[in-house]
Structure formats: C-alpha cells, structure tokens
C-alpha cells in the first residue's frame, strides 16, 4: 500500500505539465474561449456550447476571441460572450433525420408475446427506433475541423434527448433491441461506426465527439459483435473486423492496466483511468466550480481525473466512487476517488471480451491465436475470483486499493461476473445459493419500480432511488446465469417488475425515460447534472430484451396469468420466439 501511495504522489506532482488536453480541438477542449463561455453560464447546459459548430476556421475564431479579451481587459461580459458565440457558432448542420432501411412496423418477435397489452407495448417501443435515427450531414465530412462531432459512415440510433451522438456502452443494449426487431443491417452499421471511431481515435471514445477523445467507456465492442454474429452468422463481417477487436483490447491492456497487492498475492486487472488536463468540456462549469474548493493545482487535476474516470465507467456519478477518510462510501463529489477503485464490472466485461476473442478466432480457424486469448481470459477469471469474491457475504465487490478492502455495498455491478460469464462453471454452482442469499438479504430486489443503482441516497444520479435499464439487465442475466430454478424464478420476477414499471410510465407519459424511480413505478429518476432525458435507446433495448425472453409467460397485470416457463417447455406452443437463453 505504501508503494501505491508513493506512486500516486509522484504522479500528482507532474500532472499539471504532463497531461494532454481533453482533445486535440482547442476550441472545444483547451482554450480561453471555452473557459470564459462555460464559466459565464452562457448556456444553462455546458454541453450546448461544445456541441455547436464553427462558422469559420478555428484559428480565425480563436484570433478574434483574443482580440475580444484584449479589448475587455480579459473580462468580457456575459452579453459580449453571447454575441461572440452567436456570430461564430451555429447549432444546425450536423445531423439529419434518418429512417433505417431494415425497419419493419410488424416485426416477427411480436408473435412470441402472449399478453395483448404487452404485445402492443413492444410494438410501440419498436416503433420508436426510426424517431431516434440520425446520419451525419455532408458538411461535417467536408469541413470536419469546424465540428466537435466525429463523422462516421453509417446512419445510427441515438440514445435520445441531449445525447445526439453515439455513446459507447449505450450501443450494446441498442444493438440488442435492433437485432430483436430484425434490424440486422442497422446493427451492423452501428458496429462499423464504433470501429471507425476506434481507427480515428485509437480507441472507442466515450461518445462520438472530439471532447470525449481521452476517455472510453465499458469495452463492450466484442460483446456487440457476439450478439451480431450469433444472430446473423455473418462470418465475413467478423473476419473483416477481427483486427479492430484486437486493437480495442490492446488499448485497455496498454493504458488501463494496474498491478497491485492483495494480501500476499500480486494481481493485474483494469481500472477506469482517464488522465487529461482540466474539466470535462461538456460539464466544464460544474467541474471547474467543484475544483474551487482545492487550492493546489495538483489536487484540482486529480479531482478532474477522478471525474473523467467515473464518466468513463458510465456511472457518472455514484457513491460507488466515493472514498471518505474512513474508507466508506459516504460524502459527496469531494470524496471521489475513481482511479483508486478496481471495478468488478469492468473486469468481468474484459474477461468476457477476451473469451469472445478466443471464440472468434476459433470460428476463423486460427487456433493458435484463440489459445492466446483463452489463456488470458482464464487468467482474468482467476483474478476476478481472487480479488473480488467475498466469502463472508457471498458476492463480488469492488476493491479499494488504498485501504486494501472490499467495497461492501449493494450495487448491481456486484453480480456482473455472472452476467458476463466471467465465473468458471464449477464456481457458479458453488456460489449460486450464496449469491441468491446475498441478494435477498440486501433487499436490493424488493422495490416496485426496479432494481436501484445503490441503496445510498446521495443525490447523485447513479444512486438510490434511480433504477437504470442496463443495470437491471445485468441483474436479470446474472440471475439466469446461476442456472438454478430459483435463480430463473427471481430473474423473471425482476424482469416482469421492470417491464410493468416502464409500461406504466409509457402509458402515462408516452415516453421512455433514460432512468426510473425504483420506489415509484414508472416515474422518472432524478439527480445528476442534467434533467431527465427521453427516447431512450438502452431503455427500449432492455424492455425488448425482457419481452423477447419472457414473452410467453409475462403479463401486464396480475389479473392475467400464463403457464410457468417449465410448463411451457413441456407442451406444444403456437407462438414463435427466439429461445436462446443468452443473446450475448
């Protein structure tokens, strides 16, 4: 531990001068213009400014802004800044609406949903996809230097609301929903877009904006490819892109890996770590004001890195990343220490990615390469068990490197190794009853509106009472992976509770939300840095996942009931449905 702390101190001392900016586009990432516009609150949402495009070349705009600074003694008023932005930037010209060619308003999967109300709900959700379709306008390709948007070749599905671009981990659940609806071409185009981002940036960034350049998100590219290949058997597409999948894994192995001691053993795993200079451009004002409590520049930079690293996790923000002086997860953003935590879900996702690579190389008949990835996957699974498994509580916890302890709090990520198949089969059997007992004792599955992100009411959006679709999907698939009848029953109950809650919200609001309130079924979630967003890509995908998986027995209300899954399997059924237990 002493060695770890010394290394952290040395790193902090050289942060200010050695860190790169958030991206290579100064206007959006590292300029006086950015600082003045954002700290003066020209726009209520910091993301608005960095999503505008320039009406002139960036050099010209920066020169003109320097003139404004000289004329105002480096202190332009908010009104002067507003006029400057209005003269030099525009919000139009990036994207245009796009309807996927493979969209059908009567997809086959609806036949597998018995309940008429749920079948109609599934159809309504499926019909949202065209409203979220976008493609890049030609102006972005012609003058890319004037845009924060990174051009990609294919039309795509956006999450919704303020999120008008591609987001990395959102895309996994969006693709799942697209494949369920038979939109294979659109799903392939989404994967191709991520690979294009990988080739341009060197890794897949948090989102398809340049200001996300120096951070990524959970590495689910190979899992997306696995979904696509299992559905389409498109081996040529896999062969054409296998090198990109390898490049993505090598990025994480090169940049996010860390070696640390736990007990008498040394382990190597991944953490979220996004070192770059200054606040996040899209949340500049919030980050800058948050850092004012610190006097030392080095501490400010550490704070910015921890914020960006949490954003890289997708959980921005959560008590999951808070470490108080007592080592507990109380407090607020003052206590954020993301880079000191080894996350169980990140490493489960990566173990799965390694195993996927072994599987892909086997399909392509390259056994030597496959053996390499299979060996790494086994090493990762072993480290997951050694570092994260808590024998006393019977679950996997994040690990705090500084205090050398498990983070013994309820988060849906605690069961991510099961979701990602990152637990050896014998250990799944061994741990099954313990995991179910943990979940029951935690009461995390007891809420009428879904599984909350945590049981900590911190005010952050990835904490109680917010329930997020991807986390509910993780829990349901983890329970299924236990392989026991009890696990499958609890999985069904969690999925049905979620679908009913989301449907209630949809009936009342005609909208799908990005997050929900676990205490009040169908109500929007709260907290965080922005108002709740509508759309919503991963929310649609998860509902469709559950309705496809359980459509033969799930009901909209308790008034209707169908046979149990076991009874259904034992007799002939006129409905057709994808019967894969897992779509990974």
Distance of alpha carbon 113 from alpha carbon 260, whole angstroms? 49
Q: Is 316 a catalytic residue?
A: yes
- DSSP E strand boundaries for 174-328: 257-262, 265-270
- Relative to beta strand 341-342, strand 265-270 is unpaired
Distance of alpha carbon 51 from alpha carbon 81, whole angstroms? 16
Question: Among the options 165, 231, 312, 316, which is catalytic?
Answer: 316
How are the residues of the chain apportioned to helix, strand and coil, as percentages rounded to the nearest 5? Answer: 55, 10, 40
The total number of residues written for the chain in this structure: 584
Contact 188, 552 (CB under 8 A): no
CA-nearest of 515, 554, 450, 523 to 117 is 554
Helix segments in 144-217, DSSP class H: 170-180, 184-201
Q: How many CA atoms lie within 13 A of 352 on its CB side?
A: 25
Contact 373, 358 (CB under 8 A): yes
- DSSP E strand boundaries for 195-306: 257-262, 265-270
Helix segments in 364-413, DSSP class H: 367-388
Contact 319, 460 (CB under 8 A): yes
Beta bridge partners of 517: 466
Question: Among the options 480, 514, 517, 545, which is catalytic?
Answer: 514
Q: From residue 30, how far is each of 168, 273, 310 by CA, in Å?
A: 24, 20, 21
Distance of alpha carbon 215 from alpha carbon 314, whole angstroms? 11
What per-residue string of b and e applies to 307-335 under the rule 16 or more CB within 10 Å gives b?
bbbbbbbbbbbbbbbbbeeeebbeeebeb
Q: Which residues are tagged catalytic?
A: 316, 514
């Amino acid at each position: 531990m002493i060695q770890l702390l010394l290394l952290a101190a040395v790193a902090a001392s050289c942060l200010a001068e050695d860190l790169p900016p958030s991206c290579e586009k100064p206007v959006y990432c590292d300029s006086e213009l950015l600082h003045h516009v954002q700290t003066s609150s020209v726009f209520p949402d910091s993301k608005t400014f960095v999503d505008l495009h320039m009406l002139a070349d960036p050099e010209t705009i920066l020169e003109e802004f320097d003139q404004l600074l000289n004329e105002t003694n480096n202190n332009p008023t908010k009104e002067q800044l507003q006029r400057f932005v209005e003269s030099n930037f525009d919000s139009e010209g990036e994207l245009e609406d796009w309807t996927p060619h493979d969209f059908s308003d009567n997809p086959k999967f609806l036949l597998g949903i018995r309940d008429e109300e749920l079948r109609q709900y599934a159809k309504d959700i499926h019909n949202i996809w065209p409203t979220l379709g976008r493609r890049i306008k030609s102006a972005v390709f012609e003058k890319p230097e004037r845009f924060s948007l990174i051009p990609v070749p294919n039309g795509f599905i956006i999450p919704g609301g303020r999120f008008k671009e591609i987001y990395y981990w959102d895309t996994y659940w969006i693709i799942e929903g697209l494949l369920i609806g038979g939109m294979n071409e659109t799903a392939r185009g989404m994967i191709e877009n991520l690979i294009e981002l990988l080739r341009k940036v060197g890794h897949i960034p948090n989102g398809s904006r340049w200001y996300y350049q120096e951070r990524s998100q959970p590495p689910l590219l190979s899992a997306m490819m696995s979904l696509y290949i299992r559905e389409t058997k498109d081996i040529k597409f896999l062969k054409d892109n296998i090198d990109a999948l390898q490049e993505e894994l090598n990025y994480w192995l090169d940049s996010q890996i860390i070696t640390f001691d736990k007990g008498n053993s040394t382990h190597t795993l991944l953490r979220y770590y996004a070192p770059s200079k200054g606040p996040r451009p899209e949340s500049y004002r919030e980050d800058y004001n948050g850092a004012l409590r610190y006097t030392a520049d080095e501490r400010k930079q550490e704070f910015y890195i921890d914020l960006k690293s949490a954003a890289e996790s997708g959980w921005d923000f959560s008590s999951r990343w808070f470490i108080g002086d007592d080592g507990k997860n109380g407090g607020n953003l003052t206590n954020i220490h993301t880079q000191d935590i080894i996350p169980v879900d990140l490493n489960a996702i990566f173990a799965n990615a390694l195993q996927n690579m072994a599987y892909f190389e086997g399909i392509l008949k390259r056994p030597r390469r496959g053996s390499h990835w299979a060996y790494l996957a086994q090493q990762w699974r072993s480290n997951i068990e050694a570092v994260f498994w808590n024998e006393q509580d019977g679950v996997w916890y994040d690990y705090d490197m500084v205090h050398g302890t498990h983070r013994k709090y309820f988060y849906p990520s605690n069961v991510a190794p099961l979701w990602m198949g990152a637990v050896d089969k014998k250990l799944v059997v061994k741990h099954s009853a313990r995991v179910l007992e943990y979940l029951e004792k935690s009461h995390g599955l007891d809420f009428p509106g879904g599984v909350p992100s945590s049981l900590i009411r911190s005010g952050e959006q990835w904490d109680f009472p917010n329930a997020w679709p991807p986390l509910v999907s993780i829990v349901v698939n983890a329970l299924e992976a236990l392989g026991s009848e009890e696990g499958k029953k609890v999985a069904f109950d969690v999925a049905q509770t979620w679908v009913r809650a989301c449907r209630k919200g949809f009936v009342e609001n005609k909208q799908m939300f990005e997050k929900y309130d676990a205490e009040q079924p169908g109500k929007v979630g709260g907290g965080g840095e922005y108002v709740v967003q509508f759309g919503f890509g991963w929310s649609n995908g998860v509902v469709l996942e559950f309705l496809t998986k359980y459509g033969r027995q799930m009901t909209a209300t308790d008034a209707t009931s169908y046979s149990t899954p076991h009874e259904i399997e034992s007799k002939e059924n006129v409905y057709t449905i994808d019967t894969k237990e897992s779509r990974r």
